[in-house]
Structures are given as C-alpha cells and as structure tokens.
Structure 1
Amino acid sequence: MIDIKIDNLFVVQNQIERLQQGVENRYLLMRVLSGSMHTAVRMNFRQSGRPKWLGLKYRNGKPLIDTGALRGSISSMADNDTALVGTNMEYAAIHNFGGWAGRNKKVFIPQREFMMLTGDDKQGLMEDVQQYFQSLMK
C-alpha cells in the first residue's frame, strides 16, 4: 500500500476555498471584462472604425465623431453574472448596423459598426479571464 502525505494541507484547502469563492463571486471579473470591452469600443471611435468606417458623403468631418455625443454615451455595467457595454442613444443602432432612415426611409446610412470587438479584443478578454483565475491561485 502507498501512502501519500500532504504536508501543506491547510495551504491546499485555503487555495481551493479561494478558487471556489472566485468562481461564485465573479463581480470583479465581470467589471474587468466590461472595462476591457468599453476600452475596445472607445478605440473604435478613436480609430474611426476597425476596420475603417466609410467616409462622409455630403460633408467634411469624421463619421460618428462630430459632436461626441454618441461616443460620450457609451457606458459599461457589471454584476456577478454579466459584463455589458452599450449606449442609450436612440440613433445608435442605425449607425451601428446601417439601413434606411429619415422621413419615409429615404436616407441610407452605411454601417459603421462601433459596438464590436476585434479578434485581438476577444483574445484580450480571454487573457483577462486567465489573469483573474491566476490571481486566485496566488
């Protein structure tokens, strides 16, 4: 018969408890994720799209940037189960998805997707998750 003795049983039990608490209480993780997503959306505005948005047809300036209202309306929220980024501007969807707008839907607005994550952004979120769990193991 082989006996295995764990000399640091208290340390192992403590680590397991920290990990369990970190899995059950995910608010800090969700707050980090919502912050990273918020940064990514702000980067979309800073770089005029990733990939670049279609330019303006009838005037000079940068699309979605002129007044800064839409950019300034981007907010984030987190709770134990959710990480969100969004805006409450009623015209945000038509700019993000594109489509026909205006009186009698006579104006076509091209898609300028600002509520999106690039592949690098998504990889960054995975790294955030990994760092979170690594921090629980310290």
Structure 2
Amino acid sequence: MIEVKIDNIFVVQNQIERLQQGVENRYILMRRLAETMHMEVRKNFRYGGRPKWLGLKYRNGKPLTDTGALRNSLSTMYDNDTALVGTNIVYAAIHNFGGMAGRGRKVHIPQRKFLVLDNSGKQKLADEVQDYFRSLIR
C-alpha cells in the first residue's frame, strides 16, 4: 500500500488556489503571447520574410518595407481568452495572402506572408505557456 502524507496542507492549498486563479484569469498569459507574436511578426519585416518574400518586379527595394507603414501598423489585442496580432491597413490582406489587385483586378500581387510564425516563434509561444504555469506553482 502507498501512503502519502502532507506535512503542511496550507502550502499545498495555497499552490492549488494560485493554479486555479491562473487558469481562470489568463489575461496575463494572453498579454505575453500577444507580445511574443508581435515581436515575431516584426522579425518577418526585419528579415524580408521567413521564408524570404519574392522580390519586387518593377522597382528596387525590399517588399513591404518601403514606408514602414505596414510594419508600424501592427498592433496587439488580448483578453482572458484571446491573443491577437494584426493590422488595420486596408492593403495588408492582399500582401499577406496574394491575389489580383488594381483596376479590373489585372495586377497579380504575390503572397508575402507577414502575419505568420516560424517554428522558432511557435516554440516561443509554447515556452511562454509553460513558464506561465510553472510560475503559478512556485
């Protein structure tokens, strides 16, 4: 027979309460996740895409970075259940997903995913979640 004896039940109860509070109130975790995603998406602009974006066809320079408006428009939003990174720039979607644009939809815009996380970014999110829950039981 296995017997478990808890010498200080108050310590155990306190840790269980902290864990329960942290699971119910995830606002801090969601804020951290949104900040991490924001940092990772900004890296996409710094490195010219991950994987690299197609080059420009009709002018010199780096795609999506001419004025910095798109990069600088990135913002985070979070609540107890959600962590988001996005932009309110009208032309953001056509650049992220690619497609036909312009008058009569005659101009092909290649897909240049900027709202994407690479494996390293995904791992950082997983690490943030683990660190958060570890902090609750310390």
Shared fold per TM-score greater than 0.5: yes
Unaligned stretches of 5+ residues in structure 1 = none
Aligned residues: 138
CA offsets, 1:26-60, max 9 Å, x none? 00000000000000100000000001000001100
Give SS of 1:65's match: coil
Deviation at 1:5, TM superposition (A): 3.4
Tell me what 1:100 maps to: 100
Post-superposition, which runs of at least 4 consecutive aligned residues in structure 1 deviate over 4 A? 1-4
Query: Partners of 2:120 and 2:7 in 1: how far apart?
Result: 43
Query: Partners of 1:87 and 1:38 in 2: how far apart?
Result: 11
Structure 1 length normalisation: TM-score?
A: 0.97
Tell me what 1:117 maps to: 117
Give SS of 1:56's match: coil
Tell me what 2:39 maps to: 39
Gap change, CA 1:121 and 1:17, over 3 Å in 2: same
1:1-138 matches, within 5 Å, as 4-138=4-138
Query: Partners of 1:55 and 1:132 in 2: how far apart?
Result: 40
Give SS of 1:85's match: strand
Unaligned stretches of 5+ residues in structure 2 = none
Overall identity of the aligned pairs, in %: 72
CA offsets, 1:78-113, max 9 Å, x none? 111110000000100000000100000010000000
Structure 2 length normalisation: TM-score?
A: 0.97
Give SS of 1:58's match: coil
Gap change, CA 1:110 and 1:2, over 3 Å in 2: closer
Q: Which moved more, 1:9-18 or 1:116-125?
A: 116-125
**1:94 counterpart letter in structure 2:** I
**1:116 counterpart letter in structure 2:** V
Deviation at 1:75, TM superposition (A): 0.3
**1:125 counterpart letter in structure 2:** L
Query: Partners of 1:55 and 1:80 in 2: how far apart?
Result: 40
Query: Partners of 1:129 and 1:2 in 2: how far apart?
Result: 33
Q: Provide the aligned C-alpha RMSD in A.
A: 1.2
